[in-house]
Structure 1
Amino acid sequence: MKSLALGLVLTAVLAGCASSPTVNTDHDPSAQFGNYRTYTWLSKPEGASPLAQQRIVAAIDAKLQSKGWTQSPNADVGVAAHVATQQQQTLDTFYSGPAWGGYRWGGGWGMGSATTTVRTYNVGTLVVDMFDTKTKQAIWRGTASDTIPSSQEKINATVQAGIDKMFADFPPGSAPAK
């Protein structure tokens, strides 16, 4: 019983550490981001509720505008965002008794027991693509993925954290060398 309680506590602690969205970005090294000053929305994120879509668009607009970009119908860059969700599963196994089988004091062989549970959860992914409107070539992509929390407040915070992390070093080459 003691090992089951320890396993549950350890699982809860590790789950708490994994609350930051996984973010990846990529860009075309030949793109001249210093020449881009304007953007337009080519595709706003579908697959989310209308309120979530508005929040995502507003957060991306705020990030781009904080970098000195302005929204314009005849823009240098086209922005497309998409939201996808996927169900995933994990297996959690908890062991009780000795971690090994073997001969017990007093005779006989003894083994511990194991209990495995399946946990199903949803993972949400936000993908933001940018295109040079003159050449029609992709110049930047950012993705943010995380487990979808149970409350709307936590969902909003997770989405904002993903967008913040995604645009932290935008435009490419603007961050100091590490």
Structure 2
Amino acid sequence: MKRSFKVAAVTVAAFLLMVLPLAKAHADDIKTDYDHHANFQSYNTFSFGKIDAKSPFDAGRIKRAVTTLLQQRGWREVPTGGQATVFATQNVHNEKEAETMYDGMGGGWGMGWGWGGWGMGPGGGMGEATTSTVNQRVDHLMVDMFDSSSKKLLWRGVATGDISNNSKKNKKSLYGDIHKMFDKFPVKPQKS
């Protein structure tokens, strides 16, 4: 019983060591910064400046997400002349990424005949890795908020992540990235 638990624990640990780096590699990178001297509590209206997105659909999605998140913080959108002006720039470019594939002939756990008879245990073998370079489409979104009268940058959120061939996944990723940006916004959502 102890031995099978140990084998299971080692198997799970090995699996996690292989999978967790992959999950991190495909997670979008979110960065934010803001003017620590600005009094964000004094702002309560915003307008949109130019939203430069890869498609009109994404421009609308960006506006809707930002509007919702600012309204949750007590801010109100006005067509022009808001105390803060929000701009967004989204661009897509290709980046070279290295992909490494393993042939699966390396070590692992298994059952078989050994020096001590039949049993379970670690095994070894020769493995081979092949690394190739691939072009990956990468989406870069920057959302800026400026004080409308002084034109000073108040807040910036930047998201960078791989683009999928699945448009639903890309849409979900865009909304998720904007929400993660505003998780670090100086004004927290109001309690309802």
Out of 69, 84, 94, which is 1:77 matched to? 84
Aligned partner of 2:69 in structure 1 is 63
Out of 6, 22, 29, which is 1:22 matched to? 29
CA distance in 2, matches of 1:128, 1:17: 23
* TM superposition outliers: structure 1 runs of 4+ over 4 Å: 10-13, 94-98, 111-114
1:33 aligns with 2:37: no
Aligned partner of 1:3 in structure 2 is none
**TM-score, normalised with respect to structure 2:** 0.70
CA distance in 1, matches of 2:129, 2:30: 35
Provide the aligned length of Structure 1 versus Structure 2. 154
Contact 1:21/1:161 (8 A) holds in 2: no
Aligned partner of 1:125 in structure 2 is 140
Unaligned stretches of 5+ in structure 1? 1-9, 99-110
**TM-score, normalised with respect to structure 1:** 0.75
Query: Alpha carbons of 1:12 and 1:129: their partners in 2 closer, same or farther (altered >3 Å)?
Result: same
1:15 aligned partner, one-letter code: L
Q: How far is 1:20 from its partner? A: 3.2
Q: Deviations over 1:62-84 (max 9, x none)?
A: 11111111111221001100001
CA-based RMSD of the aligned residues comes to 2.6
Aligned partner of 1:169 in structure 2 is 184
Deviates more, 1:59-68 or 1:15-24: 15-24
Q: How far is 1:34 from its partner? A: 0.4
CA distance in 1, matches of 2:26, 2:179: 14
> What SS is found at the alignment partner of 1:63?
helix
> What SS is found at the alignment partner of 1:167?
helix
Aligned partner of 1:52 in structure 2 is 58
Identity %: 31
Unaligned stretches of 5+ in structure 2? 1-16, 107-125
